[in-house]
């Protein structure tokens, strides 16, 4: 299977590696227009500058396939160190095509502009346009049009190219400029892009964008953290609304929303924020009027790539994030037991603002002391953790409420939930990985993945015990009950 890498940057780029890219040898050459201003004009200086920036960022390691990127497009002295994080993550990987989604800073149009053929030139050489893919896009004439003039003065695509040339080999690009429009327009563009890249790992999509513009440092940080929280939550509709209202700012907002929708459709909706800074941070300049920059990558589980019907397996949280959530849960319980009040916990971690279900489990001397949770949620994860921790300590009907004197003897465990999925084939169930929900009529029972592991159950025993938990006959799973599976990232204070 060919591999396709898509990078959203407010323009679209396709890169090619294993196969000779399709492009016209004798057509247009797009000359660089910000060489010598946004980045060095000298080939050797440019190459050394990028090498130094990539070497200076921490590597991001993952077993998952990187399908999309959000990168800034300012001058390299301002945003290059931030962009370097994403490019280090894809360094040396095999992408045959890079689709670059970018904004226009000079034009507007009712169509997405496609550069149809030829080459884009930088001091590091020429990059071919993938005419096979650009032709496919242009056949969708209701949404795409060949408009080379809108690329002539634009820098949002160009600044991505030297980084790509240093990070990848033998690739072609598909440059696309996405103009501001309505949400359904972005959905249609996302559908078209997803249809091209859904079964390929060799296409990368880049969305090229900077963040808030010309606010003071405090306002920029607040505004950009709101934006990043919506990006990591995969909440494209709310991001669209907040961009319209001015609560968020992305000059490449159209590209980012299109990327988010495309990633969701190809099941690569695992965003990771690699870095964020403002111009005041990167060049130590005045904090009165700054511009924000972020580096985000989208990953797709290798399991999903090979088998779309197999549950995705990944850890969402870092060790430090796990420790912080456990600390928040304990603090919430202690505050409630001392004051009777539920205090709101503030966070600057965008991942904690994702809408996730979670369970909080209390154990004392190796025995269950309380467990309450929400399998799905319409509120941020941090709020679920605080609420469920308090409920596990005070509202589990199976136990008397926890008192303050025994709290130090209690160990906490948290399970962060994935989305639930109904199944008809019990062979899909992986004991130790999946939790179960079995329901029939008004009866429903849930068991977390770790329960089956603790008791060393087989798949059938797990099904039977979940039926019993629901108050049903143990064989009801064979007789018309609905079976749902979910996975959970489980971690505790004793880990």
* Domain CATH for 459: 3.30.1490.150
Do 145 and 168 lie in one domain? The reply is yes
Same domain, 134 and 222: yes
Contact 385, 358 (CB under 8 A): yes
Q: Are residues 151 and 88 in the same domain?
A: yes
pLDDT at 223: 92
Q: Are residues 342 and 404 in the same domain?
A: yes
**0.75 exceeded by pTM:** no
Indicate if the pLDDT at residue 390 is higher than 50.
yes
Structural domains counted in the chain: 3
Element (H, E) at 12: strand 10-12
Check whether residue 185 and residue 96 sit in a common domain: yes
The answer to whether residues 412 and 493 touch, using CB atoms and an 8 Å cutoff, is yes
Last residue of a domain, one of 306, 339, 356: 306
Domain end among 415, 439, 473: 415
For residue 476, what is the DSSP state? G
**Between these two residues, 10 and 189, which has the higher pLDDT value?**
189
Q: 426-439: per-residue pLDDT in tens?
A: 988 988 888 899 99
C-alpha 329, offset from chain centre: 25
pLDDT tops 50 at residue 314: no
Distance CA 362, CA 358 (A): 13
For residue 8, what pLDDT is reported? Answer: 36
d(CA 72, CA 190): 21
pLDDT in tens, 204-234: 999 999 999 999 999 999 999 989 988 988 8
Q: Residues 224, 226, 232, CA angle at the centre, nearest 5°?
A: 100
Indicate which CATH number applies to the domain containing 356: 3.30.700.20
For residue 314, being part of any structural domain is answered with no
In degrees rounded to 5, what are phi and psi of residue 452? -65, -35
Q: Which residue has the higher pLDDT, 2 or 337?
A: 337
DSSP 376: S
Q: pLDDT at residue 19 above 50?
A: no
Residue 312 lies in a domain: no
Whichever domain contains 126, its CATH number is 3.40.830.10
Separation between Cα atoms, residue 422 and residue 71, nearest integer Å: 37
Q: What is the Rg, in whole angstroms, of the alpha carbon atoms belonging to the chain?
A: 25
Is residue 160 assigned to a domain? yes
| pLDDT class of 163 with cuts at 50, 70, 90 | very high
How large is the average pLDDT for residues 263-276? Answer: 89
What pLDDT, on a 0 to 100 scale, did the predictor assign at position 124?
A: 97
Using the structure block, give the residue that is written with the tokens 């397996």: 313
Q: What percent of the chain has pLDDT over 70?
A: 91
Q: Does pLDDT of 303 surpass 50?
A: no
- 290/364 same-domain check: no
Residues 323 and 301 in one domain: no
DSSP designation for 105:
S
For residue 117, the model assigns a pLDDT of: 94
Query: What integer pLDDT is reported at residue 394 of this predicted model?
Result: 95
Residue-level pLDDT at 315: 52
State whether 300 and 337 are in the same domain: no
Is the pLDDT score of 76 beyond 90?
yes
Contacts 24+ apart (CB under 8 A), 45-51: 46/122, 46/123, 46/124, 46/162, 47/124, 47/166, 49/76, 49/80, 50/76, 50/80, 50/84, 50/162, 50/163, 50/166, 51/166
Percent of the chain with pLDDT over 90: 66
Domain contains 311? no
Clarify whether residues 327 and 290 are in a common domain: no
Element at 255 (helix H, strand E)? helix 253-265
E strand or H helix at 335: helix 319-339
- What is the SS3 assignment for 435? strand
Instruction: Give every CB contact of residue 96 below 8 A, 6+ residues apart in sequence.
Output: 2, 3, 4, 5, 14, 15, 16, 17, 18, 19, 21, 170, 171, 172, 202, 203
The verdict on residue 42 lying in a domain is yes
pLDDT for position 301: 63
CA dihedral 451, 456, 461, 467 (to 10 degrees): -10
pLDDT computed for residue 347 by the predictor:
81
What residues make up the domain containing 383? Answer: 319-415
Is the pLDDT reported for residue 123 higher than 80? yes
105 or 286, which is more confident: 105
Facing residues of 275 across strands?
Answer: 295
- Mean local confidence (pLDDT), 317-342: 91
Mean pLDDT of the chain: 87
pLDDT in tens, 345-371: 888 787 888 888 899 999 998 899 999
Instruction: Give domain status of residue 463, yes or no.
Output: yes
Residue after which a domain boundary falls, among 348, 380, 415: 415
Is residue 374 located within the same domain as residue 444?
no
| Residues 433 and 401 reside in one and the same domain | no
Q: Quick one: 251 and 162 in the same domain? A: yes
Q: What distance in Å separates the CA atoms of residue 362 and residue 217, rounded to the nearest whole number? A: 41
Is 293 domain-assigned?
yes
| CA distance from start to end of the chain | 40
Determine, yes or no, domain membership for 313.
no
């Amino acid at each position: 299977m060919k591999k396709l890498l898509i990078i959203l940057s407010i323009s679209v780029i396709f890169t090619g590696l294993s196969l000779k890219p399709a492009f016209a040898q004798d057509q247009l050459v797009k000359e660089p227009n910000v060489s010598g201003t946004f980045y060095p004009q000298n080939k050797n200086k440019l190459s050394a500058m990028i090498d130094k920036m990539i070497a200076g960022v921490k590597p991001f390691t993952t077993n998952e396939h990187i399908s999309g990127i959000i990168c800034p497009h300012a001058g390299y002295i301002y945003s290059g160190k931030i962009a370097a994080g994403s490019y280090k993550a894809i360094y040396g990987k095999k992408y045959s095509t890079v689709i670059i989604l970018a904004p226009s800073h000079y034009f507007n149009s009712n169509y997405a502009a496609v550069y149809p053929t030829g080459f884009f030139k930088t001091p590091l050489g020429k990059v071919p346009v993938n005419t096979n893919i650009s032709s496919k896009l242009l056949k969708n004439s209701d949404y795409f049009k060949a408009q080379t003039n809108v690329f002539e003065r634009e820098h949002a695509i160009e600044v991505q190219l030297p980084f790509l040339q240093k990070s990848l080999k033998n690739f072609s690009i598909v440059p696309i400029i996405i103009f501001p429009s309505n949400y359904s327009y972005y959905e249609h563009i996302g559908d078209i892009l997803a249809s091209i890249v859904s079964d390929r790992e060799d296409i990368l999509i880049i969305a090229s964008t900077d963040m808030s513009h010309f606010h003071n440092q405090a306002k920029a940080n607040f505004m950009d953290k709101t934006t990043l929280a919506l990006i990591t939550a995969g909440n494209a509709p709310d991001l669209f609304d907040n961009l319209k209202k001015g609560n968020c700012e992305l000059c490449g907002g159209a590209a980012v929303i299109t990327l988010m929708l495309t990633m969701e459709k190809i099941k690569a909706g695992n965003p990771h924020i690699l870095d964020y800074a403002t111009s005041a941070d990167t060049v130590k300049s005045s904090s009165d009027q700054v511009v924000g920059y972020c580096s985000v990558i989208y990953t797709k589980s290798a399991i999903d790539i090979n088998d779309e019907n197999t549950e995705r397996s990944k850890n969402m949280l870092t060790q430090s994030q796990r420790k912080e959530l456990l600390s928040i849960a304990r603090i919430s319980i202690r505050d409630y037991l001392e004051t009777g009040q539920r205090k709101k916990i503030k966070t600057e971690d965008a991942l904690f603002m994702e809408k996730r279900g979670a369970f909080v489990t209390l154990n004392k001397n190796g025995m269950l002391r309380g467990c309450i949770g929400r399998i799905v949620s319409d509120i941020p994860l941090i709020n679920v953790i605080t609420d469920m921790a308090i409920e596990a300590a005070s509202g589990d009907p199976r136990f008397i409420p926890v008192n303050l004197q025994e709290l130090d003897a209690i160990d906490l465990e948290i399970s962060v939930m994935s989305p639930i999925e109904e199944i008809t084939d019990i062979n899909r169930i992986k004991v130790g990985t999946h939790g179960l929900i079995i329901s029939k009529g008004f009866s429903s029972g849930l068991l977390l993945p770790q329960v089956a592991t603790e008791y060393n159950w087989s798949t059938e025993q797990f099904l039977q015990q979940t039926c019993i938990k629901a108050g049903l006959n143990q064989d009801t799973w064979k007789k018309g009950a609905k079976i749902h599976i979910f996975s959970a990232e489980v971690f505790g204070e004793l880990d």
